[in-house]
Amino acid sequence: MPNKNYLDTHPLKNAFVANRLDRLADLIGEQGELMLQDAGIEFPSRAVSIVMLVGERGGISTADIADALRQPHQLVTQRVTLLIETGALDRIADPKDGRRKILMLTDKGAKQYNQLMIQLKKVDQAMAALFQEIGYDLPRVATLAIEALKRNPILERLKAQ
């Protein structure tokens, strides 16, 4: 399979940077899934951030998770449901407010969380090595691009040309 697609070599390739970044994110996600499977972790990579939040904070609601991750409540709810189904999380009544439900790691979830944290430290080091190899700190570059586009959106850039 060739490394490049039609858009990668097109004269207007810069207009399609989102396509290339989507493919990078998909590749990292796919490889993350393999890493989790290899480590015996049973939940999908798309739910890792939720497990981390519950593991680090405990007693957190779905709404709190959605807020912390800046993700839609419905998306977080779907992932929480998946984690409950896999046996990683329990939803219980908040002892301080019976109307509110909070999430806690199950015994199985706590074991998976501990293994996850070991793996994530290794991934962090591997990604740092990747960034050194390619000569770019991708999280920093992504943050700079986001901030620049928030300050001066693409449409405004077009109007200024």
pLDDT over 80 at 29, yes or no: yes
Options 3.90.226.10, 1.20.1630.10, 1.10.10.10, 3.40.50.150; CATH for 39-160 is 1.10.10.10
Domains of the chain: which residue ranges?
1-38, 39-160
Say whether pTM exceeds 0.75. yes
Where are any strands of DSSP class E within 37-161?
A: 89-94, 97-105
Residues 109 and 52: beta-carbon distance below 8 Å: no
Q: What is the pLDDT of residues 37-89, one digit of tens each?
A: 999 999 999 999 999 999 999 889 999 999 999 999 999 999 999 999 999 99
